[in-house]
């Protein structure tokens, strides 16, 4: 496969470490995601607009409400504080706290909310606070594609535990992966790429298991980092809940990039639930604030104020549009004979590789690309035999893709 | 002294490390700067507006041109790319490259410019790329107050070398501080807090010394990180130049926070000079891009576009105002008998503690605070017997401060 050859080549290139830079940067710099992007850049310039279901990028104009709010914040009366350095802006934290309480019944103190320059740098900051170099973190595969790089940059060892066949947490397998050097578990629900939302029943099992493990190490409880980037991109009117509500050592990470379909604007937060012991929160407040003063993941004032209004207004991308695309893709591709996992949330859907037709996900990706449709091969997310499609494609792209999938069926189906 | 007692107390508190979090976060979390801020928060709420010469905060309304440009960027016609994730925005990089060429004759390739979420996170990113945990970096004191925390968070050992009596680089002392584990030297010119701009003659000496050292370690040259946050805040019509122009292993860091007096908005860049060997730049491009994809120091699209216009328009805070304040403070305080170091750039001026009047800088700070004037004690910047004043105070505050300094002279001068 063209894709496989290309990736192997870039891997060899990146592995030629230079002693000129730190080992951690070399470790983190073979990024299969970026290698894949490089591949597409070259290959797909000419047909980007036909069937791009690859990335979670907006394919339509931005939310008018978002740009209007930005304009309003910039246009508001200004004083010497407008662009002054501010450690925190209390009214922004309060808007976030109110939203968590009202939408999910989740109690968080305003002082335990830290607004950040997006979710990813908030994640790296949190990882760095929780684990020493050489210690370990448990990830659950399929994994979001930059987690591994983030951990490696910070010298933390990623231990990857696969989910069950239907993408649920395998609590027993997670238990087996925990060692004395494990400092935290990183979970992502709603999950990118599977779209799975872990049930509270499963999360209670995880909580019970962790509470039991913690009894044997009272000074070093295992933390959970709950990446909730997609917690407002949920379908079928589901009430979203997460482990943040039940496990006291959870650190929640959020970004508006998905809710408002604006990944090029960076704003998110770290939140510590009220059920976390007070002395732990006090210490974390101190550490996170000091890391932010040292420049880590500090958002613009104007960005913070913009999203405060978004929060108060309950601003959100139109979920009915995403749900309609999900339903159409699921219905049509299933009817064509593909095995598709129907997501409960997120922008994504996983399609299984039909092994009677293709040797690997890379071959499947190449075959779709030949029909001018872009999807992401599973290896980037450390899952075999699947490709990921994004629902942020516009309706025309979705229709184009459905036809392309149908063509593959006709063209490549083995003779009966 | 009240201030000294308070700081000692907070130090003891921060040193009580908890095994719950990583050692690096504990190491980095006693931050004398923040301890000092906490002290002032309590103490000075009531007289913040009288004589606040403490921080480099704007004390007047923002630049109208900046907010107008922000409004223009938000109000521009929008398409699906407006808020999409963009690895780079070529026209922003080109505006930066043009400015460096025109203002300083510094040649940088557009691909070697990386826009960032401010200068501080760009600095941490650069440090992480250059040094492994346990390796060392040379700092020059007085130091900018978060450098030490940044290095400690990344496990890099800070080795601090004092400047000469007139705040110039002591190249021989820097040479003696370099060991096999030294990976980079961090310099800051124009310097916060001294306001010193290192001469090209001194920087050539540093360059020659480093080139000589590098001959003995050809695979691991010593890098220089050139923090040039204040490179457009220069007085007396000086043409600013830096080591970025002559030492090939220099990584330049810039932020608009000073130029546009907007520290609450975060936008800066990393630039690699064209004189850096091409293969080193190629590798760094790759590493920095991948770190940014992993979420490190990624700016908003709209922020990048705003500062692109600022760059094209040559937008800058009014230097004549800052220079007038510098001259007035320097003239009046010198006339009163204080020893003041006259800065060539930056927002700051150092005043020496008169040891016939005060035991320490902390006592001097306390005495000024009793007159409702806030300045920063030197220990935060690892310099003894000095306090720092900021020229971002407004004119009324400067006048208020001049009177307060005069009162101290009258009150506390020893009988002749």
Percentage with pLDDT > 70 across chain A: 91
Instruction: Name every chain A residue with its beta carbon within 8 A of the beta carbon of B81.
Output: 264
From the list B18, B130, B294, the residue facing A21 with the nearest CB is B130
Q: Do B61 and A82 touch (CB under 8 A)?
A: yes
A146 touches chain B (CB under 8 A): yes
B133 touches chain A (CB under 8 A): yes
Q: Do B83 and A25 touch (CB under 8 A)?
A: no
User: What is the structure's pLDDT at B4?
Assistant: 67
Domain boundaries, chain B: 2-61+318-412, 64-313
B301 touches chain A (CB under 8 A): yes
User: What is the structure's pLDDT at B416?
Assistant: 43
Residues 6+ positions from A165 with CB-CB distance below 8 Å: none
What kind of architecture, by CATH, is found in domain A2-62+318-412? Alpha-Beta Complex (3.90)
Instruction: Name every chain B residue with its beta carbon within 8 A of the beta carbon of A302.
Output: 70, 265
Q: Do B287 and A25 touch (CB under 8 A)?
A: yes
Mutation target vs A (from B63, B74, B154; most A CBs, 10 A cutoff): B74
* pLDDT, tens digit, 9 for 90 and up, residues A141-190: 999 989 998 998 899 999 999 999 999 999 999 999 999 999 999 999 99
**Closest residue in A to B49 (Cα–Cα):** A80
B272 vs B93: CA distance, rounded Å: 12
User: What is the structure's pLDDT at A416?
Assistant: 43
Q: Do A297 and B117 touch (CB under 8 A)?
A: yes
Which A residues, 152 through 191, put their C-beta within 8 Å of a C-beta on chain B? 153, 155, 183
Q: Do B302 and A265 touch (CB under 8 A)?
A: yes
What kind of architecture, by CATH, is found in domain B2-61+318-412? Alpha-Beta Complex (3.90)
Is CATH 3.40.640.10 correct for A64-313? yes
Residue A340 in this model has a pLDDT that exceeds 50: yes
Is there a shared CATH topology between the B2-61+318-412 domain and the B64-313 domain? Answer: no
Mutation target vs B (from A13, A22, A75, A147; most B CBs, 10 A cutoff): A22
* pLDDT, tens digit, 9 for 90 and up, residues A402-411: 999 999 998 7
**Closest residue in B to A131 (Cα–Cα):** B22
B86 touches chain A (CB under 8 A): yes
Residue A291 in this model has a pLDDT that exceeds 80: yes
From the list B34, B61, B221, the residue facing A80 with the nearest CB is B61
From the list A71, A266, A302, the residue facing B265 with the nearest CB is A302
Instruction: Name every chain B residue with its beta carbon within 8 A of the beta carbon of A61.
Output: 78-80, 82
Q: Do B149 and A290 touch (CB under 8 A)?
A: yes
User: What is the structure's pLDDT at A268?
Assistant: 98
Q: Average per-residue pLDDT in chain A?
A: 91
**pLDDT per residue of chain B (416 residues) written in tens, 0 to 9:** 566 666 666 555 555 556 788 888 877 666 777 777 777 777 676 666 688 888 888 888 899 999 999 999 999 999 888 999 998 899 999 999 999 999 999 999 999 999 999 999 999 999 999 999 999 999 999 999 899 989 988 999 999 999 999 999 999 999 999 999 999 999 999 999 999 999 999 999 999 999 999 999 988 999 999 999 999 999 999 999 999 999 999 999 999 999 999 999 999 999 999 999 999 999 899 889 989 988 899 999 999 999 999 999 999 999 999 999 999 999 999 999 999 999 999 999 999 999 999 999 999 999 999 999 999 999 899 999 999 999 999 999 999 999 999 999 987 555 44
For range A326-332, the mean pLDDT:
98
**Closest residue in A to B284 (Cα–Cα):** A21
* pLDDT, tens digit, 9 for 90 and up, residues A228-247: 999 999 999 999 999 999 99
Q: Do A266 and B82 touch (CB under 8 A)?
A: no
Q: Do A265 and B28 touch (CB under 8 A)?
A: no
Tokens of B106: 């510094």
Which B residues, 92 through 131, put their C-beta within 8 Å of a C-beta on chain A? 117-121, 123-124, 128-131
Which A residues, 195 through 224, put their C-beta within 8 Å of a C-beta on chain B? 219-221
Higher model confidence: residue B15 or residue A194?
Answer: A194
Q: Do B28 and A291 touch (CB under 8 A)?
A: yes
């Amino acid at each position: 496969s063209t894709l496989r050859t290309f990736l192997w080549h870039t891997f060899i290139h990146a592995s030629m470490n230079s002693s000129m830079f730190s080992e951690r940067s070399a470790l983190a710099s073979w990024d299969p995601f970026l290698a894949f992007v490089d591949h597409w850049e070259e290959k797909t310039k000419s047909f980007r607009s036909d069937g791009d279901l690859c990335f979670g990028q907006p394919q339509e104009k931005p939310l008018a409400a978002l740009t209007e709010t930005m304009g309003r914040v910039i246009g508001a009366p200004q004083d010497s504080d407008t662009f002054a350095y501010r450690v925190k802006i209390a009214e922004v934290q309060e808007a976030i706290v109110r939203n968590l309480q009202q939408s999910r019944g989740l109690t968080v103190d305003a002082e335990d909310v830290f607004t950040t320059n997006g979710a990813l740098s908030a994640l790296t900051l949190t990882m760095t606070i929780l684990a020493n170099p050489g210690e370990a973190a448990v990830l659950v595969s399929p994994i979001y594609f930059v987690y591994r790089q983030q951990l490696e940059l910070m010298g933390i060892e990623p231990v990857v535990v696969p989910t069950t066949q239907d993408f649920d947490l395998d609590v027993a397998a997670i238990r087996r992966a925990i060692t004395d050097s494990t400092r935290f578990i990183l979970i992502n629900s709603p999950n990118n790429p599977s779209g799975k939302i872990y049930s509270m029943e499963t999360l209670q099992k995880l909580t019970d298991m962790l509470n039991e493990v913690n009894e044997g190490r009272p000074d070093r409880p295992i933390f959970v980092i709950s990446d909730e980037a997609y917690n407002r991109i949920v379908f079928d009117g589901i009430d979203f809940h997460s482990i943040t509500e039940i496990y006291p050592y959870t650190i929640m990470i959020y970004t508006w990039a998905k809710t408002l379909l604006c990944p090029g604007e960076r704003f998110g937060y770290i939140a510590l639930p009220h059920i976390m012991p007070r002395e732990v929160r006090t210490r974390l407040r101190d550490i996170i604030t000091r890391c932010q003063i040292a420049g880590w993941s500090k958002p613009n004032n104007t960005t913070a104020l913009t999203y405060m209004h978004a929060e108060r207004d309950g601003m959100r991308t139109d979920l009915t549009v995403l749900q309609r695309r999900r339903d159409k893709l699921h219905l049509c591709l299933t009817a064509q004979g593909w095995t598709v996992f129907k997501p409960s949330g997120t922008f994504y859907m996983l399609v299984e590789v039909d092994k009677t037709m293709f040797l690997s996900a890379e071959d499947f990706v190449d075959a779709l690309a030949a029909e001018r449709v872009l999807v992401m091969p599973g290896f980037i997310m450390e899952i075999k035999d699947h490709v990921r499609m994004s629902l942020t494609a516009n309706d025309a792209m979705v229709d184009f893709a459905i036809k392309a999938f149908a063509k593959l069926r006709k063209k490549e189906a083995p003779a009966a």
